[in-house]
Amino acid sequence: MKKIITLLLIGVFSVNCAIARDYAALQIKEMKHAQKYNTTQKYFFNQDKILNNFNYYTSKPSQNTYIKDPKIFKLPEYQEVDEAKYQEKLKADDKIYNQYKKSMFTGTIFNYNAKANGEDYYKVYRIAERIIRANKLDYINWRIGIYKDAENINAYSFGPNYIAISTSLYDSFNNNDDALAIVIGHEIAHTVLGHSQRKNDILRTMLTLQNMYKAGDPNARALYTIKSQQLMTDGKNMEYAADVEGAKLAAKAGYSLDESADLLSFLNTDVTIPGYLSDHPVGHKRIENFYENRKYFIEDQWAEIGKYNILNSEVMPVKLSSDRKSLTIGRTHETQSKNNYYSTETMEDIYLRFAYKSYLCGEFKKAAKYFKQYFEINNSNAIAYLYASYNSEAIYKILNRSSALEDAKNYITTAYNIDKNNEFIKEQYDNIYKLSPNVKVKNKKDTKSKNKK
């Protein structure tokens, strides 16, 4: 009997202990974790700090005083657009879009898979079609679908022309066309940058090495491990590249990269798809990559290029794909010409863009490096030499380095030899020679204009 009473007393005491647990202390402890892990803070990701970083050069007035920009720098593919004609074109295109909207995108158009609403598919069609036309990607049929996945916010590309967006991603951003444009642009970027082929090459090598190891080759296992690591590293680098290239595609289509920050901040909460982070960078690294590269974007000119491409192309027809769960956006021209097709930036174009924007950001040493790399490829661009002279002059004024003034003089002399009639080149030519008339110009071969390679 005593034993039973003792057990009862222990049980009562245990219950009392459980009741007496300090849940307030537990909450305080958990809230300490929340300071690090709460998604609200991650979602907003301190937008002021990001924007300050993006516009950091504006807080350096001492360097800004050395920057000259007569606004005559143009990208190689830049084209002037008659705004009145462009608006007329948009109105004509809208009539065609409305015909498709009335005939296809009404009610629930799909009973297979996600039972997607026609209005949702119409939105995705319009965004994708605009990106495709603005970037001269209408040389093939594109396919795009919304697939049912209520849990994983994701999108993927497959093969040369298929883009898929999960219902959870679409629902999260269906009121932000700019964010959806970044998603679609990212997946198109994977395709045009050849990432599938690049991954497949590594996977084929890994399969060969796996078979060699099974056949008794002792070195194959180590090589397989190296290739496996390369697959993960390259996979993350491809994501960084697709984020930047996809933003460029969206910017050409006139979508706002500022308004798309909703998606970028969302990335910082990190996707929880199993295996996702094995070949995808963590969210905050992708955001840092985006804003670091955006400093070197020329969004206003890209938008004009996109307008020109839309003005000179036709609405891409759309139909329900044979799989009955995606759309086919049809190609609109048959002629095969280099001018008709999208092409990624050449190294020449990349060096020129980064040189120009580095200079405007006050990163003068970095700009000098990029200008030199550019001139090794193309030494016939007078405007590039003009800006290189501006950049070297800034370095001279900041560091009082005579070699920089010599560079400024050589660059502007080359520019003058190429185009003696440009008023800004003549002005800089006179300015540099007045600044230090005793500095001699090097007798370089590249002071003579050569054909662009």
pLDDT in tens, 194-204: 888 888 899 99
pLDDT at 291 over 70: yes
pLDDT at 213 over 80: yes
Q: Long-range contact list for 158-163, CB < 8 A, 24+ apart?
A: 158/196, 159/196, 160/191, 160/196, 161/191, 162/326, 163/128, 163/187, 163/188
CATH code for the domain defined by 346-447: 1.25.40.10
pLDDT at 333 over 90: no
Which of 319, 313, 315, 318 minimizes the C-alpha distance to 335?
313
State what percent of residues in the chain have pLDDT above 70.
77
Report pLDDT digits (tens) over 143-164.
999 988 888 888 988 888 999 9
pLDDT at 428 over 80: yes
* Band of residue 59 on the pLDDT scale cut at 50, 70, 90: very low
Instruction: Report the pLDDT value the prediction gives residue 48, as an integer from 0 to 100.
Output: 54
Share the mean pLDDT of the chain. Answer: 83
**Token reading at 63:** 């360097």
Q: Is 319 helix (H, G, I), strand (E, B) or coil?
A: strand
Instruction: Report the pLDDT value the prediction gives residue 329, as an integer from 0 to 100.
Output: 94
In this prediction, residues 292-320 reach a mean pLDDT of 94
Report pLDDT digits (tens) over 78-128.
989 999 999 999 999 999 999 999 888 876 555 444 445 678 899 999 999
Distance CA 358, CA 71 (A): 15
Distance CA 173, CA 4 (A): 63
Question: Which residue's entry shows tokens 């898929």?
Answer: 164
In this prediction, residues 332-350 reach a mean pLDDT of 77
312's CB contacts (< 8 A; 6+ apart) are none
What pTM was computed for the model?
0.82
Sign for the CA dihedral angle at 211, 217, 222, 226 comes to negative
Distance CA 433, CA 429 (A): 6
Question: Which residue's entry shows tokens 């891409």?
Answer: 316
Instruction: Report the pLDDT value the prediction gives residue 345, as an integer from 0 to 100.
Output: 87
Please say whether the beta carbons of 415 and 371 come within 8 A.
Answer: no
Report pLDDT digits (tens) over 406-426.
999 999 999 999 999 999 999
Distance CA 311, CA 298 (A): 20
Q: Which helix (H) or strand (E) holds 147?
A: strand 142-147
Please say whether the beta carbons of 181 and 250 come within 8 A.
Answer: yes
Please say whether the beta carbons of 440 and 406 come within 8 A.
Answer: yes
Instruction: Report the pLDDT value the prediction gives residue 96, as an integer from 0 to 100.
Output: 96
Return the minimum-mean-pLDDT range out of 15-24, 266-275, 378-387, 437-446.
437-446
Instruction: Report the pLDDT value the prediction gives residue 330, as an integer from 0 to 100.
Output: 92
208-232 burial, b if ≥16 CB within 10 A, otherwise e? ebeebbeeeeeebeebbeebeeebe
Distance CA 80, CA 214 (A): 61
| pLDDT winner (highest mean) among 140-149, 272-281, 442-451 | 140-149
Instruction: Report the pLDDT value the prediction gives residue 62, as an integer from 0 to 100.
Output: 44
Distance CA 103, CA 37 (A): 48
pLDDT at 180 over 50: yes
* Band of residue 207 on the pLDDT scale cut at 50, 70, 90: very high
Report pLDDT digits (tens) over 383-409.
999 999 999 999 999 998 899 999 999
| pLDDT winner (highest mean) among 75-79, 250-254, 286-290 | 250-254
Tell me the sheet residues that pair with 166.
147
State what percent of residues in the chain have pLDDT above 90.
49
Which of 167, 229, 148, 155 minimizes the C-alpha distance to 191?
155
Instruction: Report the pLDDT value the prediction gives residue 452, as an integer from 0 to 100.
Output: 45
Helix axis angle for 220-252 and 283-294, nearest 10°, is 50
Question: Which residue's entry shows tokens 């219950």?
Answer: 15
Instruction: Report the pLDDT value the prediction gives residue 263, as an integer from 0 to 100.
Output: 79
pLDDT at 450 over 60: no
- In the chain the first and final C-alpha atoms are separated, in Å, by 103
* Band of residue 25 on the pLDDT scale cut at 50, 70, 90: confident
Distance CA 387, CA 352 (A): 10
Instruction: Report the pLDDT value the prediction gives residue 271, as an integer from 0 to 100.
Output: 55
pLDDT at 61 over 50: no
Q: Where are the beta strands (DSSP E) in 287-398?
A: 318-320, 326-329
166's CB contacts (< 8 A; 6+ apart) are 146, 147, 148, 149, 152, 153, 154, 155
Report pLDDT digits (tens) over 356-366.
999 999 999 99
pLDDT at 449 over 70: no
Instruction: Report the pLDDT value the prediction gives residue 437, as an integer from 0 to 100.
Output: 61
In this prediction, residues 309-328 reach a mean pLDDT of 91
In this prediction, residues 315-339 reach a mean pLDDT of 82
